[in-house]
Structure 1
Amino acid sequence: MKIYRLHYPHEQQALDLEPSAVAVGFFDGLHRGHQNVINKMEEIAESEGLKKAVMTFDPHPSVVLSPKKQRTTYLTPLDIKLGMLEARGIDYCFVINFSSALAGLSPDEFVQQYIMALDIKEVVAGFDFTYGKLGKGNIDTLSRYESFNTTGVGKITEGEEKISTTRIREDLAAHDLAHANLILGRPYEVKGVVVQGEKRGRTIGFPTANIEPEYRYHLPAKGVYAVTMQLDNEGTVHKGVCNVGVKPTFHDNLERVSIEVHLFDFDESIYGENVTVHWHHFIRPEWKFNGIDELKAQIAKDKQKAIGLLENA
């Protein structure tokens, strides 16, 4: 997959592009709704003999447009998103820097610079896609251009509710992991590296791997979860129980959230290993216990519950 990182203005003559069909959107999470847009683009590209392309943006537009509600954590950080797109056989990915200058372009200027200049022949986007200054461009305005075709993809729902990145983030914050995974279409995952921790787990019989996320992920809410963890260099997957939180039994005012995974039937040193944690089931919120014995008893219960939940994982 060829990746083109574009700023405004960009060097049009420096790009060596064949005609393409492009799916346009931010696509954080690449959830089932996003997959539907990309699937439609691929269908059109194959039918028309075009390259398959995705156009996305970085950072999230809210960083420029909504400073009070800016989104700086992601379900699929850019590098992860690019890897997922490459794995499905996308030919081109246009990563457009979302800056104040870009946000100030009129809808027509955006089309001239980032659709026509890139030899795009088919544009596919969700029904609610907007572009240009103040978001005045939409599917209807795109459809008025004659140099390319536009296809709008309708709303994808689960039950009666639209599948969206916002809803997944809300689900993760509310411990509704089951619903988040349902509309994602897969277990939520975070990539990281195993780093040195406080090593308290081994002293109470439950050694843990302390995971430092590689990117600015939107983490599940503080609590205990049944997870699987892949050792990326080996490709092996192990089952475990994970605590996301601040360890209130040991700390009164710790703010930094940690991710600690206790793997079942595993006793190897894996410091420095790159891993991927897959969140499968929520078990309970993070609690403060009255002492070590109470904590140990609860962790044993959490482990047994996780073993049962992950029986078919």
Structure 2
Amino acid sequence: MKTIRLHYPLDNLQEELQYSAAAIGFFDGLHRGHQDVINEMIGIAEEKGLKKAVMTFDPHPSVVLSPKKQRTTYLTPLDIKLEMLDGMGIDYCFIINFSSAFASLEPDYFVQEYLIDNKVKEVVAGFDFSYGRYGKGNIDTLRTYDDFGTTAVAKLTAGNEKISTTKLREDLANCRLEEVNDALGRPFEVQGVVVQGEKRGRTIGFPTANVEPEYRYHLPAKGVYAVTLKLNNEDEIYKGVCNVGVKPTFHDNMTRVSIEVHLFDFNRSIYGENVTVYWHNFIREEQKFSGIGELTAQIGKDKEKAVELLENL
């Protein structure tokens, strides 16, 4: 996949580009709704003999447009999104720098400079896609151009609610992990590296891998989860139980959230290893215990529950 970064003002037009069909959107999470848009584009591209392209943005538009609600954490950070798009067989990924200058562009300028000049012959987007200054451009204005075709993809719902990144973030914050995974069509995942922790787990019979996320992920709510973990240089998947939180039994004022995974039947040192944690089931909220005995008893119950939940995985 060829990655093309576009900064305003455009001074790096890619003369070697071939005509393409482009799916446009931010696509954080690449959930099933996003997949519908991209798969629609792929079908059109294959039917018309066009290259398959995705046009996305970095950073999230809210950083410029909505400072009080800006998103600086992601379900699928950019590097992960690019890996996933490459795996879907995308030929071109246009990454538009979403700056104040870009946000102020008139809709027609965006169409002429970013779509037509980059040889986009088919545009595919969600039904509610908007673009240009004040969001004045939309699917209907795109349809007024003869230079390319425009296809709008209807919303996808689950439980009578639209599948959206906003809903996914809310579900993660409210421990509705099963709903998150259903909307994604896969387990939520976080990539990171195993780092040195407080090493308290090994002293109470539950050694853990302390996973430091490699990117600015929007993490699940504090609590205990049934997870699997993959060492990125191996094929085998290991089952485990994970605590996300601030370890209130040992710390009164800790604010930094840690990810600690206890793997079943695993006895290796994996410091420095790049890993992926897959989140399958929520077990309970994080809580403060009166002492180590109460904590270890609960961890034992958590482990039993995780073993049960992951049994048929």
TM range, normalised to the smaller chain? over 0.9
Q: Which residue number corresponds to residue 261 of structure 2?
A: 261
Q: Which residue number corresponds to residue 224 of structure 2?
A: 224
Q: Which residue number corresponds to residue 38 of structure 1?
A: 38
Distance 1:14 1:94 in 2: 11
Shift of 1:12: 4.5
Q: Which residue number corresponds to residue 205 of structure 2?
A: 205
Distance 2:15 2:293 in 1: 64
Read off the aligned partner of 2:306 and give its amino acid letter: A
Distance 1:112 1:85 in 2: 25
Q: Which residue number corresponds to residue 89 of structure 2?
A: 89
Secondary structure of 1:115's counterpart equals helix
Read off the aligned partner of 1:218 and give its amino acid letter: H
Secondary structure of 2:117's counterpart equals helix
Map of 1:9-158 to 2, 5 A cutoff? 9-158=9-158
Gaps of 5+ in 2: none
Distance 2:91 2:54 in 1: 8
Q: Percent same amino acid among aligned pairs?
A: 73
Cα RMSD (Å): 0.6
Secondary structure of 1:52's counterpart equals strand
Shift of 1:13: 4.0
Distance 2:228 2:176 in 1: 18
Distance 1:197 1:6 in 2: 40
Q: Which residue number corresponds to residue 248 of structure 2?
A: 248
Q: Which residue number corresponds to residue 8 of structure 2?
A: 8
TM-score (norm 1): 0.99
The answer to whether 1:159 aligns with 2:159 is yes
Secondary structure of 1:287's counterpart equals coil
Read off the aligned partner of 1:3 and give its amino acid letter: T
Distance 2:240 2:91 in 1: 37
Please tell me whether the aligned partners of residues 231 and 275 of structure 2 are also in contact (alpha carbons under 8 angstroms): yes
Map of 1:175-214 to 2, 5 A cutoff? 175-214=175-214
Read off the aligned partner of 1:182 and give its amino acid letter: D
Please tell me whether the aligned partners of residues 6 and 12 of structure 2 are also in contact (alpha carbons under 8 angstroms): no
Please tell me whether the aligned partners of residues 239 and 310 of structure 2 are also in contact (alpha carbons under 8 angstroms): yes
Please tell me whether the aligned partners of residues 12 and 117 of structure 1 are also in contact (alpha carbons under 8 angstroms): no
Shift of 1:14: 4.2
Secondary structure of 1:81's counterpart equals helix
The answer to whether 1:236 aligns with 2:236 is yes
Distance 2:67 2:81 in 1: 24
Read off the aligned partner of 2:137 and give its amino acid letter: G
Please tell me whether the aligned partners of residues 13 and 117 of structure 2 are also in contact (alpha carbons under 8 angstroms): no
Q: Which runs of 4+ in 1 moved over 6 A?
A: none
Gaps of 5+ in 1: none
Please tell me whether the aligned partners of residues 207 and 262 of structure 1 are also in contact (alpha carbons under 8 angstroms): yes
Secondary structure of 1:247's counterpart equals coil
Please tell me whether the aligned partners of residues 14 and 118 of structure 2 are also in contact (alpha carbons under 8 angstroms): no
Please tell me whether the aligned partners of residues 191 and 277 of structure 1 are also in contact (alpha carbons under 8 angstroms): yes
Q: Which residue number corresponds to residue 285 of structure 1?
A: 285
Please tell me whether the aligned partners of residues 12 and 118 of structure 1 are also in contact (alpha carbons under 8 angstroms): no
